[in-house]
Structure 1
Protein backbone atom coordinates (compact mmCIF):
# COMPACT_ATOMS: atom_id res chain seq x y z
CA UNK A 1 0.00 0.00 0.00
CA UNK A 2 0.94 3.64 -0.43
CA UNK A 3 1.12 4.84 3.16
CA UNK A 4 1.56 8.34 4.54
CA UNK A 5 3.13 8.22 8.01
CA UNK A 6 2.20 11.27 10.08
CA UNK A 7 4.50 11.17 13.08
CA UNK A 8 4.69 13.24 16.24
CA UNK A 9 8.47 13.38 16.87
CA UNK A 10 7.89 14.42 20.49
CA UNK A 11 5.91 11.26 21.25
CA UNK A 12 7.59 8.03 22.26
CA UNK A 13 11.06 7.61 23.65
CA UNK A 14 13.31 6.32 20.88
CA UNK A 15 15.51 8.56 18.77
CA UNK A 16 14.88 8.58 15.01
CA UNK A 17 11.62 6.73 15.60
CA UNK A 18 10.11 8.17 12.44
CA UNK A 19 12.92 6.72 10.35
CA UNK A 20 12.49 3.38 12.09
CA UNK A 21 8.79 3.32 11.24
CA UNK A 22 9.45 4.14 7.59
CA UNK A 23 12.00 1.33 7.36
CA UNK A 24 9.60 -1.12 9.01
CA UNK A 25 6.81 -0.15 6.61
CA UNK A 26 9.09 -0.65 3.61
CA UNK A 27 10.22 -4.04 4.92
CA UNK A 28 6.54 -5.00 5.12
CA UNK A 29 6.21 -4.22 1.41
CA UNK A 30 4.64 -0.77 1.58
CA UNK A 31 5.57 2.44 -0.19
CA UNK A 32 5.88 4.86 2.72
CA UNK A 33 6.38 8.62 2.94
CA UNK A 34 6.99 10.69 6.07
CA UNK A 35 5.27 13.81 7.40
CA UNK A 36 5.99 15.36 10.79
CA UNK A 37 2.87 16.43 12.68
CA UNK A 38 4.86 19.40 13.98
CA UNK A 39 5.56 20.88 10.55
CA UNK A 40 3.43 22.44 7.84
CA UNK A 41 2.34 20.37 4.90
CA UNK A 42 -0.05 17.81 6.38
CA UNK A 43 -2.97 18.88 4.19
CA UNK A 44 -0.78 18.87 1.08
CA UNK A 45 0.52 15.40 1.95
CA UNK A 46 -3.03 14.09 2.44
CA UNK A 47 -3.99 15.21 -1.06
CA UNK A 48 -1.39 12.98 -2.70
CA UNK A 49 -2.21 9.52 -4.03
CA UNK A 50 -2.16 7.36 -0.92
CA UNK A 51 -4.07 4.31 0.27
CA UNK A 52 -3.72 4.79 4.03
CA UNK A 53 -2.77 7.40 6.61
CA UNK A 54 -0.85 5.93 9.54
CA UNK A 55 -0.64 8.27 12.54
CA UNK A 56 2.15 7.66 15.06
CA UNK A 57 1.34 9.75 18.11
CA UNK A 58 -1.14 10.37 20.89
CA UNK A 59 -4.81 11.30 20.85
CA UNK A 60 -4.07 14.92 19.97
CA UNK A 61 -2.08 14.00 16.88
CA UNK A 62 -4.72 11.51 15.75
CA UNK A 63 -7.46 14.15 16.12
CA UNK A 64 -5.37 16.70 14.23
CA UNK A 65 -5.07 14.41 11.20
CA UNK A 66 -8.65 13.14 11.43
CA UNK A 67 -10.04 16.71 11.36
CA UNK A 68 -8.26 17.33 8.08
CA UNK A 69 -9.54 14.10 6.55
CA UNK A 70 -13.13 14.97 7.50
CA UNK A 71 -12.78 18.55 6.23
CA UNK A 72 -11.58 17.14 2.89
CA UNK A 73 -14.51 14.69 2.79
CA UNK A 74 -11.79 12.11 2.22
CA UNK A 75 -12.34 8.38 1.90
CA UNK A 76 -8.71 7.59 2.78
CA UNK A 77 -8.72 5.38 5.90
CA UNK A 78 -6.74 6.15 9.03
CA UNK A 79 -4.78 3.77 11.25
CA UNK A 80 -2.95 4.51 14.50
CA UNK A 81 0.36 3.62 16.12
CA UNK A 82 -0.52 4.73 19.69
CA UNK A 83 2.34 6.64 21.31
CA UNK A 84 0.58 8.93 23.78
CA UNK A 85 -0.22 8.57 27.46
CA UNK A 86 -3.96 7.88 27.57
CA UNK A 87 -4.47 6.73 23.95
CA UNK A 88 -8.26 6.76 24.43
CA UNK A 89 -8.88 7.28 20.72
CA UNK A 90 -6.54 4.48 19.59
CA UNK A 91 -7.79 2.05 22.22
CA UNK A 92 -11.43 2.65 21.30
CA UNK A 93 -10.57 1.82 17.69
CA UNK A 94 -8.88 -1.43 18.64
CA UNK A 95 -5.29 -0.35 17.96
CA UNK A 96 -3.78 -2.27 20.86
CA UNK A 97 -1.06 -4.29 19.12
CA UNK A 98 2.62 -3.52 19.43
CA UNK A 99 4.11 -1.23 16.80
CA UNK A 100 5.86 -4.17 15.13
CA UNK A 101 2.72 -6.34 15.07
CA UNK A 102 0.50 -3.56 13.77
CA UNK A 103 2.82 -2.73 10.87
CA UNK A 104 3.12 -6.40 9.96
CA UNK A 105 -0.67 -6.80 9.88
CA UNK A 106 -1.63 -3.65 7.98
CA UNK A 107 -2.33 -5.68 4.84
CA UNK A 108 -4.97 -7.63 6.75
CA UNK A 109 -7.00 -4.63 7.88
CA UNK A 110 -10.53 -3.68 6.84
CA UNK A 111 -12.04 -0.26 6.22
CA UNK A 112 -14.79 0.69 8.69
CA UNK A 113 -16.70 3.90 9.24
CA UNK A 114 -16.42 6.19 12.26
CA UNK A 115 -18.93 8.79 13.47
CA UNK A 116 -17.76 12.36 13.98
CA UNK A 117 -19.07 15.15 16.18
CA UNK A 118 -19.61 18.61 14.73
CA UNK A 119 -19.93 21.70 16.91
CA UNK A 120 -21.26 25.03 15.68
CA UNK A 121 -20.67 28.08 17.82
CA UNK A 122 -18.95 31.48 18.00
CA UNK A 123 -15.82 30.04 16.33
CA UNK A 124 -17.81 28.72 13.37
CA UNK A 125 -17.64 24.95 12.87
CA UNK A 126 -15.27 22.35 14.28
CA UNK A 127 -15.08 18.57 14.37
CA UNK A 128 -14.35 16.29 17.31
CA UNK A 129 -13.91 12.54 17.56
CA UNK A 130 -13.64 11.34 21.16
CA UNK A 131 -16.19 13.61 22.76
CA UNK A 132 -17.02 17.03 24.16
CA UNK A 133 -17.68 18.03 27.72
CA UNK A 134 -17.44 20.50 30.55
CA UNK A 135 -17.24 20.74 34.29
CA UNK A 136 -14.71 18.99 36.50
CA UNK A 137 -12.49 17.54 33.77
CA UNK A 138 -12.46 20.63 31.52
CA UNK A 139 -11.60 22.85 34.49
CA UNK A 140 -8.84 20.42 35.48
CA UNK A 141 -7.37 20.71 31.98
CA UNK A 142 -7.22 24.49 32.40
CA UNK A 143 -5.96 24.65 35.99
CA UNK A 144 -2.29 24.46 37.04
CA UNK A 145 -1.46 20.93 38.16
CA UNK A 146 -0.82 20.53 41.86
CA UNK A 147 1.75 17.76 41.47
CA UNK A 148 3.80 19.36 38.70
CA UNK A 149 7.05 19.22 40.70
CA UNK A 150 6.77 15.61 41.79
CA UNK A 151 8.89 12.82 40.39
CA UNK A 152 7.99 11.66 36.92
CA UNK A 153 5.59 8.70 36.97
CA UNK A 154 7.24 5.35 36.35
CA UNK A 155 4.57 4.20 33.90
CA UNK A 156 1.56 5.39 31.93
CA UNK A 157 -0.68 3.60 34.42
CA UNK A 158 0.90 5.54 37.28
CA UNK A 159 0.45 8.81 35.38
CA UNK A 160 -3.24 8.03 34.88
CA UNK A 161 -3.66 7.10 38.55
CA UNK A 162 -2.17 10.43 39.61
CA UNK A 163 -4.60 12.33 37.41
CA UNK A 164 -7.57 10.40 38.78
CA UNK A 165 -6.39 10.99 42.34
CA UNK A 166 -6.14 14.72 41.70
CA UNK A 167 -9.58 14.81 40.05
CA UNK A 168 -10.99 13.04 43.08
CA UNK A 169 -9.39 15.60 45.41
CA UNK A 170 -10.85 18.50 43.42
CA UNK A 171 -14.29 16.89 43.25
CA UNK A 172 -14.70 17.09 47.03
CA UNK A 173 -15.10 20.87 46.91
CA UNK A 174 -15.98 21.41 43.24
CA UNK A 175 -19.05 23.59 42.73
CA UNK A 176 -21.73 22.37 40.35
CA UNK A 177 -22.56 24.89 37.61
CA UNK A 178 -25.70 25.77 35.74
CA UNK A 179 -26.05 24.52 32.16
CA UNK A 180 -29.00 24.81 29.81
CA UNK A 181 -28.93 21.52 27.92
CA UNK A 182 -31.33 20.08 25.38
CA UNK A 183 -30.76 16.52 24.17
CA UNK A 184 -33.01 15.13 21.44
CA UNK A 185 -35.64 17.72 22.34
CA UNK A 186 -35.59 16.87 26.07
CA UNK A 187 -34.67 19.58 28.56
CA UNK A 188 -31.84 18.30 30.76
CA UNK A 189 -30.87 21.69 32.18
CA UNK A 190 -29.51 21.84 35.70
CA UNK A 191 -26.46 22.22 37.88
CA UNK A 192 -23.79 19.77 36.74
CA UNK A 193 -20.51 18.64 38.25
CA UNK A 194 -19.61 17.34 34.81
CA UNK A 195 -21.23 16.34 31.55
CA UNK A 196 -19.85 14.68 28.44
CA UNK A 197 -21.11 13.84 24.96
CA UNK A 198 -19.17 10.63 24.29
CA UNK A 199 -18.33 8.98 20.99
CA UNK A 200 -15.78 6.64 22.54
CA UNK A 201 -15.94 4.89 25.89
CA UNK A 202 -13.32 6.87 27.83
CA UNK A 203 -12.26 10.44 28.51
CA UNK A 204 -9.10 11.92 29.98
CA UNK A 205 -7.16 9.55 32.25
CA UNK A 206 -9.06 6.53 30.93
CA UNK A 207 -12.29 7.35 32.75
CA UNK A 208 -14.78 4.95 31.19
CA UNK A 209 -17.97 7.01 31.34
CA UNK A 210 -19.82 5.26 28.49
CA UNK A 211 -18.86 1.58 28.55
CA UNK A 212 -21.27 0.64 25.75
CA UNK A 213 -20.45 3.51 23.39
CA UNK A 214 -19.99 2.56 19.74
CA UNK A 215 -18.21 4.68 17.18
CA UNK A 216 -20.28 3.68 14.16
CA UNK A 217 -23.90 3.63 15.36
CA UNK A 218 -24.80 7.18 14.31
CA UNK A 219 -25.16 8.45 17.88
CA UNK A 220 -23.17 9.67 20.88
CA UNK A 221 -23.79 9.01 24.58
CA UNK A 222 -24.64 11.89 26.92
CA UNK A 223 -23.40 11.40 30.48
CA UNK A 224 -24.13 13.98 33.15
CA UNK A 225 -23.41 14.09 36.88
CA UNK A 226 -25.36 16.59 38.96
CA UNK A 227 -24.77 17.80 42.51
CA UNK A 228 -26.79 14.91 43.92
CA UNK A 229 -24.44 12.47 42.15
CA UNK A 230 -21.30 13.68 43.95
CA UNK A 231 -21.08 10.67 46.29
CA UNK A 232 -21.39 8.26 43.35
CA UNK A 233 -18.56 10.05 41.53
CA UNK A 234 -16.34 9.99 44.60
CA UNK A 235 -16.88 6.24 44.96
CA UNK A 236 -16.05 5.74 41.29
CA UNK A 237 -12.81 7.73 41.60
CA UNK A 238 -11.89 5.87 44.79
CA UNK A 239 -12.22 2.56 42.96
CA UNK A 240 -10.09 3.82 40.07
CA UNK A 241 -7.35 5.09 42.39
CA UNK A 242 -7.34 1.68 44.10
CA UNK A 243 -6.92 -0.01 40.73
CA UNK A 244 -10.35 -1.63 40.83
CA UNK A 245 -12.69 -2.02 37.90
CA UNK A 246 -15.91 -0.15 38.49
CA UNK A 247 -18.65 0.61 35.99
CA UNK A 248 -19.55 4.28 35.82
CA UNK A 249 -22.65 4.61 38.01
CA UNK A 250 -24.74 6.89 35.77
CA UNK A 251 -26.69 5.71 32.74
CA UNK A 252 -25.98 7.52 29.46
CA UNK A 253 -28.62 8.89 27.09
CA UNK A 254 -28.22 8.49 23.32
CA UNK A 255 -28.04 11.64 21.24
CA UNK A 256 -27.72 12.79 17.65
CA UNK A 257 -28.25 16.48 18.41
CA UNK A 258 -27.58 18.58 21.48
CA UNK A 259 -27.98 22.29 22.25
CA UNK A 260 -26.11 24.12 25.00
CA UNK A 261 -26.37 27.56 26.56
CA UNK A 262 -24.11 28.62 29.41
CA UNK A 263 -22.08 31.42 30.96
CA UNK A 264 -18.29 31.72 31.21
CA UNK A 265 -17.20 28.11 31.76
CA UNK A 266 -14.79 26.35 29.35
CA UNK A 267 -15.55 23.30 27.21
CA UNK A 268 -13.25 20.63 25.90
CA UNK A 269 -13.40 18.99 22.48
CA UNK A 270 -11.31 15.81 22.59
CA UNK A 271 -8.18 16.95 24.45
CA UNK A 272 -8.42 20.62 23.46
CA UNK A 273 -10.00 23.40 25.49
CA UNK A 274 -12.33 26.05 24.13
CA UNK A 275 -11.52 28.77 24.58
CA UNK A 276 -7.80 27.99 24.63
CA UNK A 277 -6.01 28.07 27.97
CA UNK A 278 -4.92 31.67 27.43
CA UNK A 279 -8.32 32.71 26.10
CA UNK A 280 -11.21 34.32 27.92
CA UNK A 281 -14.55 32.48 28.03
CA UNK A 282 -17.47 34.48 26.61
CA UNK A 283 -19.96 35.93 29.06
CA UNK A 284 -22.69 33.87 27.42
CA UNK A 285 -22.54 31.28 24.69
CA UNK A 286 -24.81 28.95 22.74
CA UNK A 287 -23.69 26.04 20.56
CA UNK A 288 -25.13 23.02 18.82
CA UNK A 289 -23.54 19.58 18.67
CA UNK A 290 -24.58 17.07 16.02
CA UNK A 291 -23.38 13.61 15.03
CA UNK A 292 -22.16 13.16 11.46
CA UNK A 293 -22.67 9.49 10.73
CA UNK A 294 -19.76 7.63 9.08
CA UNK A 295 -17.80 10.82 8.31
CA UNK A 296 -14.38 9.21 8.84
CA UNK A 297 -12.82 5.98 7.57
CA UNK A 298 -10.79 3.78 9.91
CA UNK A 299 -8.46 0.94 8.89
CA UNK A 300 -9.18 -1.65 11.58
CA UNK A 301 -6.70 -4.41 12.20
CA UNK A 302 -8.61 -7.62 12.89
Structure 2
Protein backbone atom coordinates (compact mmCIF):
# COMPACT_ATOMS: atom_id res chain seq x y z
CA UNK A 1 0.00 0.00 0.00
CA UNK A 2 1.23 3.51 -0.82
CA UNK A 3 1.42 6.15 1.86
CA UNK A 4 2.09 9.85 1.84
CA UNK A 5 5.80 9.44 2.58
CA UNK A 6 6.39 7.15 -0.37
CA UNK A 7 4.90 9.11 -3.27
CA UNK A 8 7.17 8.49 -6.24
CA UNK A 9 8.73 11.55 -7.90
CA UNK A 10 7.19 12.58 -11.20
CA UNK A 11 8.96 11.31 -14.31
CA UNK A 12 6.69 13.12 -16.77
CA UNK A 13 6.99 16.86 -17.35
CA UNK A 14 10.77 16.72 -16.92
CA UNK A 15 12.20 20.20 -16.47
CA UNK A 16 8.77 21.74 -15.97
CA UNK A 17 7.10 23.09 -12.83
CA UNK A 18 10.38 23.70 -11.03
CA UNK A 19 10.60 27.51 -10.93
CA UNK A 20 7.60 29.25 -9.33
CA UNK A 21 8.00 32.29 -11.55
CA UNK A 22 9.30 31.03 -14.91
CA UNK A 23 8.34 28.07 -17.11
CA UNK A 24 10.81 25.63 -18.64
CA UNK A 25 10.69 27.73 -21.83
CA UNK A 26 11.58 30.87 -19.92
CA UNK A 27 8.14 32.43 -20.09
CA UNK A 28 6.49 34.14 -17.10
CA UNK A 29 4.46 31.63 -15.12
CA UNK A 30 0.82 32.40 -14.34
CA UNK A 31 -0.15 33.26 -10.78
CA UNK A 32 -3.56 33.46 -9.15
CA UNK A 33 -4.56 35.93 -6.44
CA UNK A 34 -7.20 35.23 -3.80
CA UNK A 35 -9.78 37.62 -5.21
CA UNK A 36 -13.03 36.19 -3.80
CA UNK A 37 -12.65 33.94 -0.77
CA UNK A 38 -15.94 32.06 -1.03
CA UNK A 39 -15.09 28.61 0.39
CA UNK A 40 -12.89 27.51 3.26
CA UNK A 41 -12.19 23.78 3.23
CA UNK A 42 -11.21 21.67 6.22
CA UNK A 43 -9.56 18.31 5.72
CA UNK A 44 -10.91 16.27 8.61
CA UNK A 45 -8.04 13.72 8.37
CA UNK A 46 -6.79 11.19 5.81
CA UNK A 47 -8.13 8.12 7.60
CA UNK A 48 -10.90 6.42 5.62
CA UNK A 49 -12.93 3.26 6.04
CA UNK A 50 -11.94 2.07 2.54
CA UNK A 51 -8.92 2.34 0.23
CA UNK A 52 -9.75 3.35 -3.32
CA UNK A 53 -7.73 2.31 -6.33
CA UNK A 54 -6.87 5.89 -7.37
CA UNK A 55 -7.29 8.15 -4.35
CA UNK A 56 -5.45 11.43 -4.97
CA UNK A 57 -4.89 11.93 -1.23
CA UNK A 58 -4.03 8.26 -0.53
CA UNK A 59 -6.75 7.94 2.10
CA UNK A 60 -7.01 4.54 3.74
CA UNK A 61 -7.73 2.84 7.09
CA UNK A 62 -4.05 3.37 8.03
CA UNK A 63 -2.95 6.69 6.47
CA UNK A 64 -2.95 9.32 9.20
CA UNK A 65 -0.54 11.71 7.48
CA UNK A 66 -3.26 14.31 8.04
CA UNK A 67 -4.68 13.80 11.52
CA UNK A 68 -8.15 14.60 12.81
CA UNK A 69 -8.78 18.33 13.00
CA UNK A 70 -10.81 19.42 16.02
CA UNK A 71 -13.90 21.53 16.56
CA UNK A 72 -11.82 24.03 18.52
CA UNK A 73 -9.38 24.39 15.61
CA UNK A 74 -12.21 24.84 13.12
CA UNK A 75 -13.77 27.48 15.37
CA UNK A 76 -10.47 29.38 15.48
CA UNK A 77 -10.47 29.63 11.69
CA UNK A 78 -14.12 30.70 11.65
CA UNK A 79 -13.04 33.53 13.96
CA UNK A 80 -10.27 34.41 11.51
CA UNK A 81 -12.74 34.58 8.61
CA UNK A 82 -14.70 37.22 10.50
CA UNK A 83 -11.57 39.10 11.58
CA UNK A 84 -10.22 39.17 8.00
CA UNK A 85 -13.69 39.98 6.60
CA UNK A 86 -13.43 37.21 4.02
CA UNK A 87 -16.70 36.96 2.01
CA UNK A 88 -16.99 33.22 2.68
CA UNK A 89 -20.38 31.68 2.00
CA UNK A 90 -19.49 28.00 2.36
CA UNK A 91 -17.53 25.85 4.80
CA UNK A 92 -16.63 22.50 3.25
CA UNK A 93 -15.32 19.31 4.84
CA UNK A 94 -13.36 16.61 3.05
CA UNK A 95 -11.07 13.74 4.01
CA UNK A 96 -10.34 10.87 4.15
CA UNK A 97 -13.85 10.11 5.24
CA UNK A 98 -15.13 13.04 7.33
CA UNK A 99 -17.40 10.86 9.45
CA UNK A 100 -14.36 8.94 10.71
CA UNK A 101 -13.60 12.11 12.68
CA UNK A 102 -15.52 11.89 15.98
CA UNK A 103 -16.01 15.68 16.04
CA UNK A 104 -17.59 15.94 12.59
CA UNK A 105 -21.04 16.86 13.87
CA UNK A 106 -19.64 19.51 16.19
CA UNK A 107 -17.54 21.04 13.42
CA UNK A 108 -20.52 21.22 11.06
CA UNK A 109 -22.66 22.71 13.83
CA UNK A 110 -20.05 25.41 14.51
CA UNK A 111 -20.13 26.50 10.85
CA UNK A 112 -23.91 26.32 10.50
CA UNK A 113 -24.43 28.33 13.68
CA UNK A 114 -22.56 31.24 12.08
CA UNK A 115 -24.77 31.20 9.01
CA UNK A 116 -22.50 29.42 6.55
CA UNK A 117 -23.64 26.81 4.07
CA UNK A 118 -21.93 23.50 4.81
CA UNK A 119 -20.73 20.97 2.25
CA UNK A 120 -19.60 17.53 3.43
CA UNK A 121 -17.85 15.11 1.06
CA UNK A 122 -18.55 11.52 2.12
CA UNK A 123 -18.85 7.99 0.81
CA UNK A 124 -22.10 7.65 2.86
CA UNK A 125 -20.97 4.27 4.16
CA UNK A 126 -20.63 2.83 7.67
CA UNK A 127 -18.93 5.82 9.40
CA UNK A 128 -21.81 8.10 8.42
CA UNK A 129 -24.37 5.45 9.30
CA UNK A 130 -23.29 5.03 12.91
CA UNK A 131 -26.13 5.77 15.31
CA UNK A 132 -24.45 8.83 16.84
CA UNK A 133 -23.66 10.35 13.45
CA UNK A 134 -27.18 9.79 12.12
CA UNK A 135 -28.63 11.43 15.21
CA UNK A 136 -26.34 14.42 14.73
CA UNK A 137 -27.19 14.72 11.04
CA UNK A 138 -30.92 14.70 11.81
CA UNK A 139 -30.43 17.34 14.50
CA UNK A 140 -28.45 19.64 12.18
CA UNK A 141 -30.76 19.17 9.21
CA UNK A 142 -33.78 20.01 11.37
CA UNK A 143 -32.10 23.05 12.92
CA UNK A 144 -30.63 24.40 9.66
CA UNK A 145 -32.86 23.14 6.84
CA UNK A 146 -31.38 23.48 3.38
CA UNK A 147 -28.04 24.77 4.68
CA UNK A 148 -26.15 21.45 4.69
CA UNK A 149 -25.39 19.40 1.57
CA UNK A 150 -23.74 16.00 1.38
CA UNK A 151 -21.70 15.36 -1.77
CA UNK A 152 -21.54 11.58 -2.15
CA UNK A 153 -18.67 9.85 -3.92
CA UNK A 154 -20.26 7.72 -6.65
CA UNK A 155 -17.38 7.10 -9.05
CA UNK A 156 -19.66 5.61 -11.68
CA UNK A 157 -23.39 5.05 -11.96
CA UNK A 158 -22.87 1.32 -12.59
CA UNK A 159 -22.04 -1.12 -9.83
CA UNK A 160 -19.25 -2.84 -11.79
CA UNK A 161 -17.19 0.27 -12.45
CA UNK A 162 -17.83 1.93 -9.09
CA UNK A 163 -16.83 -1.24 -7.25
CA UNK A 164 -13.76 -1.63 -9.47
CA UNK A 165 -12.49 1.59 -7.88
CA UNK A 166 -13.81 1.14 -4.33
CA UNK A 167 -14.13 -2.57 -3.70
CA UNK A 168 -16.81 -5.23 -4.04
CA UNK A 169 -20.12 -4.22 -2.55
CA UNK A 170 -19.11 -0.55 -2.19
CA UNK A 171 -21.90 0.91 -4.32
CA UNK A 172 -24.57 -1.08 -2.48
CA UNK A 173 -23.35 0.28 0.87
CA UNK A 174 -23.18 3.83 -0.48
CA UNK A 175 -26.70 3.60 -1.88
CA UNK A 176 -27.94 2.40 1.50
CA UNK A 177 -26.55 5.59 3.01
CA UNK A 178 -28.00 7.72 0.21
CA UNK A 179 -31.40 6.12 0.70
CA UNK A 180 -31.24 7.11 4.37
CA UNK A 181 -30.24 10.69 3.49
CA UNK A 182 -33.11 10.82 0.96
CA UNK A 183 -35.62 9.66 3.55
CA UNK A 184 -34.19 12.06 6.13
CA UNK A 185 -34.49 14.99 3.74
CA UNK A 186 -30.79 15.91 3.62
CA UNK A 187 -29.82 17.64 0.33
CA UNK A 188 -27.42 15.55 -1.75
CA UNK A 189 -25.02 16.02 -4.63
CA UNK A 190 -22.73 13.47 -6.29
CA UNK A 191 -19.06 13.42 -7.26
CA UNK A 192 -18.14 11.01 -10.07
CA UNK A 193 -15.26 10.43 -12.48
CA UNK A 194 -14.85 10.84 -16.23
CA UNK A 195 -12.34 8.04 -16.84
CA UNK A 196 -14.68 5.32 -18.02
CA UNK A 197 -14.45 5.74 -21.80
CA UNK A 198 -17.90 7.25 -22.14
CA UNK A 199 -18.90 10.75 -23.19
CA UNK A 200 -20.05 13.24 -20.59
CA UNK A 201 -23.56 13.02 -21.99
CA UNK A 202 -23.56 9.22 -21.61
CA UNK A 203 -22.24 9.49 -18.08
CA UNK A 204 -24.84 12.03 -17.03
CA UNK A 205 -27.59 9.94 -18.60
CA UNK A 206 -26.44 6.99 -16.51
CA UNK A 207 -26.53 9.04 -13.32
CA UNK A 208 -29.97 10.35 -14.27
CA UNK A 209 -31.27 6.78 -14.52
CA UNK A 210 -29.76 5.90 -11.15
CA UNK A 211 -31.33 8.96 -9.50
CA UNK A 212 -34.72 8.22 -11.03
CA UNK A 213 -34.62 4.58 -9.91
CA UNK A 214 -33.75 5.55 -6.31
CA UNK A 215 -35.86 8.70 -6.04
CA UNK A 216 -32.89 11.01 -5.44
CA UNK A 217 -33.56 14.73 -5.94
CA UNK A 218 -30.23 15.31 -7.72
CA UNK A 219 -29.91 16.97 -11.11
CA UNK A 220 -27.66 14.86 -13.33
CA UNK A 221 -27.34 17.67 -15.89
CA UNK A 222 -26.19 20.29 -13.36
CA UNK A 223 -22.36 20.32 -13.06
CA UNK A 224 -22.70 21.66 -9.52
CA UNK A 225 -25.00 18.83 -8.44
CA UNK A 226 -23.32 15.99 -10.34
CA UNK A 227 -19.64 16.90 -10.42
CA UNK A 228 -17.57 14.78 -12.81
CA UNK A 229 -13.84 14.96 -12.11
CA UNK A 230 -11.03 13.96 -14.48
CA UNK A 231 -8.41 11.51 -13.24
CA UNK A 232 -5.53 13.29 -11.52
CA UNK A 233 -2.53 11.55 -13.09
CA UNK A 234 0.76 13.17 -12.08
CA UNK A 235 2.50 11.15 -14.79
CA UNK A 236 0.49 12.78 -17.59
CA UNK A 237 2.37 15.24 -19.78
CA UNK A 238 0.71 18.66 -19.52
CA UNK A 239 1.62 22.18 -20.65
CA UNK A 240 2.71 24.86 -18.23
CA UNK A 241 0.39 27.84 -17.79
CA UNK A 242 1.93 31.20 -18.69
CA UNK A 243 0.57 34.69 -18.21
CA UNK A 244 -0.34 34.67 -21.90
CA UNK A 245 -2.54 31.59 -21.56
CA UNK A 246 -5.49 33.46 -20.09
CA UNK A 247 -6.24 35.30 -23.33
CA UNK A 248 -5.43 32.26 -25.48
CA UNK A 249 -7.78 30.05 -23.46
CA UNK A 250 -10.44 32.71 -23.08
CA UNK A 251 -10.49 32.38 -19.30
CA UNK A 252 -9.43 34.38 -16.25
CA UNK A 253 -7.34 33.76 -13.13
CA UNK A 254 -10.53 34.48 -11.16
CA UNK A 255 -12.05 31.28 -12.58
CA UNK A 256 -9.38 29.05 -11.01
CA UNK A 257 -10.19 27.35 -7.72
CA UNK A 258 -7.38 28.98 -5.74
CA UNK A 259 -8.89 32.40 -6.49
CA UNK A 260 -11.86 31.54 -4.30
CA UNK A 261 -10.82 28.91 -1.75
CA UNK A 262 -8.22 27.67 0.72
CA UNK A 263 -7.94 24.41 2.71
CA UNK A 264 -6.92 23.85 6.33
CA UNK A 265 -5.11 20.63 7.26
CA UNK A 266 -3.47 19.24 10.41
CA UNK A 267 -0.28 17.34 9.65
CA UNK A 268 0.79 14.45 11.85
CA UNK A 269 3.16 15.75 14.50
CA UNK A 270 2.38 19.43 13.83
CA UNK A 271 1.49 21.70 16.72
CA UNK A 272 -1.00 23.68 14.67
CA UNK A 273 -2.98 23.32 11.45
CA UNK A 274 -1.73 24.84 8.20
CA UNK A 275 -3.51 26.59 5.35
CA UNK A 276 -3.00 25.25 1.82
CA UNK A 277 -3.61 26.93 -1.50
CA UNK A 278 -5.43 23.95 -2.97
CA UNK A 279 -7.53 20.99 -1.90
CA UNK A 280 -5.82 18.83 -4.53
CA UNK A 281 -2.23 19.21 -3.33
CA UNK A 282 -2.16 18.23 0.35
CA UNK A 283 1.39 16.85 0.23
CA UNK A 284 3.10 19.53 -1.90
CA UNK A 285 5.06 21.77 0.52
CA UNK A 286 5.25 24.66 -1.94
CA UNK A 287 1.47 25.04 -1.70
CA UNK A 288 1.47 25.47 2.09
CA UNK A 289 0.92 29.16 2.81
CA UNK A 290 1.25 29.38 6.59
CA UNK A 291 -0.79 28.76 9.70
CA UNK A 292 -3.20 31.68 9.42
CA UNK A 293 -5.68 33.03 6.91
CA UNK A 294 -3.74 36.28 6.84
CA UNK A 295 -0.68 34.41 5.56
CA UNK A 296 -2.86 32.55 3.06
CA UNK A 297 -3.96 35.72 1.30
CA UNK A 298 -0.89 35.77 -0.95
CA UNK A 299 -1.03 34.77 -4.61
CA UNK A 300 -0.44 31.21 -5.77
CA UNK A 301 2.00 30.15 -8.47
CA UNK A 302 0.48 27.63 -10.91
CA UNK A 303 3.49 25.42 -10.47
CA UNK A 304 2.11 21.88 -10.56
CA UNK A 305 0.66 19.65 -13.31
CA UNK A 306 -2.70 19.57 -11.51
CA UNK A 307 -2.91 23.37 -11.85
CA UNK A 308 -2.81 23.02 -15.61
CA UNK A 309 -4.67 19.78 -16.31
CA UNK A 310 -7.26 19.85 -13.58
CA UNK A 311 -8.04 23.49 -12.88
CA UNK A 312 -7.09 25.68 -15.85
CA UNK A 313 -7.54 23.32 -18.80
CA UNK A 314 -10.15 21.10 -17.17
CA UNK A 315 -12.05 23.96 -15.59
CA UNK A 316 -12.71 21.94 -12.45
CA UNK A 317 -13.82 23.26 -9.08
CA UNK A 318 -14.35 21.38 -5.85
CA UNK A 319 -16.94 23.82 -4.56
CA UNK A 320 -20.62 23.59 -5.32
Give me the TM-score of the superposition, normalised by structure 2: 0.26
Judging by fraction of residues, say which structure has more strand: 1
Return the TM-score normalized by structure 1: 0.27
Structure with the larger helix share = 2
